[in-house]
Amino acid sequence: MLKFTSVKDISDLKKAVETALEIKRNRFAFSHLGKNRTMVLIFFNPSLRTRLSTQKAAMNLGMNTMVLDVNKDGWQLETGMGVKMDGDKPEHLREAIPVIGKYCDVIGVRAFARFENRENDYSEEIINQFIDYAGVPVVSMEGATRHPLQSFADLLTIEEFKKRPRPKVVLSWAPHPKALPQAVPNSFVEWMRHTEYELIVTHPEGYELAPEFMGDIKVEYDQKKAFKDADFIYGKNWSSYSSYGKILSTDYSWTIDKEKMALTNNAFFMHCLPVRRNVVVTDGVLDSPASIVVEQAANREITAQAVLKMILESM
Ligand code: CP
């Protein structure tokens, strides 16, 4: 595997989950693989989990790591093609990317949707420039349309906590005061479609995800109906895809609370974090034994390590 931007880059998902479980049993078993190799992590957007877990994963494999926060540390980077650079951005990605590639063996990039133009966001214009010009393998640490490192950790967490072979997994929209990208829900649906799980997506009208991600997955517009007999509730806000980047609803009746969780089959509650308490989900749920958000976040280190192991073994 010489890039990781989606589940499609993993040839055998079952084996990848087994690799992650093997790493979890002994996370230093492969520390020889990254010797004298360097990973650069580039952030166009903030992060807590992705930054720390990916850096830790690389270090567990014996790699050296360097982190660049583009908005604080480097030159402001122009990303558009054909732009006359007479503004405040002195460097273009077209030079910056191959230069970064000369200093490392693997690049991780985080570049969220910018909500200026849906086509540009959905073409993954920044991550794809890294893939084209880096000259080394590129790992998405969340792009405009997908968050594959998160989804892999989500899958591992469900595999560890599921009580039946084909659990019912519900992805539920929840309110939020800011317009958030669709990357996490898109990616979650895409990964779940590669499993045998029963997946239901529930959201208010207007929040339909892009058809390329949803395929034939069922939408249930009645949140309470969707929660019935669920084994996992994945709470997440996202902004509208059709009215691109817009907040169409802040309906707090969609907040996930204990009453709704009581409709489920003793479901576990999942969220990628960060989460706004008592907006997306109540304290009562997050502080209950049903919440596995910390275990889910802990798995970010494990699955990032599985991804980096696959990349290092392919180099
Ligand atoms: N879930 C996740 O990616 O968290 P961060 O934004 O903190 O990295």
Q: What is the pLDDT of residues 103-127, one digit of tens each?
A: 999 999 999 999 999 999 999 999 9
* Residue 55 CA to ligand 1 centre (angstroms): 13
| 3-146+300-314 is classed CATH 3.40.50.1370 | yes
Q: What is the pLDDT of residues 17-27, one digit of tens each?
A: 999 999 999 99
Ligand 1 atom nearest residue 50's Cα = 8
**Average pLDDT of span 86-99:** 96
Which one of 41, 42, 45, 47 would you pick to mutate in the ligand 1 pocket, going by the greatest count of ligand atoms within 8 A of its CB?
47
Pocket of ligand 1 (CB under 6 A): 47-50, 142, 150, 272-274
Q: Identify the CATH number of the domain defined by range 149-296.
A: 3.40.50.1370
Q: Does the pLDDT of residue 73 top 90, yes or no?
A: no
Q: What is the pLDDT of residues 146-179, one digit of tens each?
A: 999 999 999 999 999 999 999 999 999 999 999 9
pLDDT band, residue 35 (cuts 50/70/90)? very high
Going by CA atoms, what residue is nearest to atom 4 of ligand 1? 49
pTM score: 0.97
**Average pLDDT of span 77-95:** 94
Q: Mean pLDDT, the chain, as a whole number?
A: 97
Which one of 41, 43, 44, 48 would you pick to mutate in the ligand 1 pocket, going by the greatest count of ligand atoms within 8 A of its CB?
48
Sign of torsion, CA 148 153 156 161?
negative
Do residues 141 and 54 touch, judged by C-beta distance below 8 A? Answer: yes
* Residue 235 CA to ligand 1 centre (angstroms): 15
pLDDT band, residue 278 (cuts 50/70/90)? very high
CATH 3.40.50.1370 domain extents, the chain: 3-146+300-314, 149-296
Q: What is the pLDDT of residues 53-72, one digit of tens each?
A: 999 999 999 999 999 999 99
Q: Does the pLDDT of residue 74 top 90, yes or no?
A: no
Ligand 1 atom nearest residue 273's Cα = 1
**Average pLDDT of span 251-258:** 98
